[in-house]
Amino acid sequence: MGYIKLTLDDLNIKPNAEINGHVIVDYPGAYDGIVINTLIMDSNELIVYKSYNGEKISNNVSRLFISKDVMPDNKADFTASIEFEPEKSHEVKFRASIIEQHKEVESVQLFAKFSA
């Protein structure tokens, strides 16, 4: 395993359903936090992050930064949703990165499937 691990509870995503994800950081150096980006392939639509570590996000954000200060045991849980009805199936790329002084130290990605 590298310095960062990203998992989703379910790799089959449905419209408006809650997506539950988890990030674990095992980085020996100092870091500022993590960034989670998502791309819905063949679409201009965005994912909307709803919460992280139990804290609701008041604004709709499609790129999530989580400070190390709010990551007990270097772990972060997040919820999100995709709020449109797809006409076809889409692959969704999730990417989590460790950020240290505005630079990416390491990243990991995984793919899920989004369909009605």
DSSP secondary structure letter of residue 9: S
- pLDDT by residue (tens digit) across 6-49? 999 999 999 999 999 999 999 999 999 999 999 999 999 999 99
87: left (phi over 0), alpha (psi -120 to 50) or beta: alpha
Report pTM.
0.92
CA-to-CA distance for 82 and 69, rounded, in angstroms? 28
| pLDDT at residue 112, rounded to an integer | 98
Collapsed DSSP state (helix, strand, coil) of residue 74:
helix
DSSP secondary structure letter of residue 58: E
CA-to-CA distance for 55 and 5, rounded, in angstroms? 21
Domains and CATH numbers, the chain: 4-114 (2.60.40.10)
- pLDDT by residue (tens digit) across 38-85? 999 999 999 999 999 999 998 888 899 999 999 999 999 999 999 999
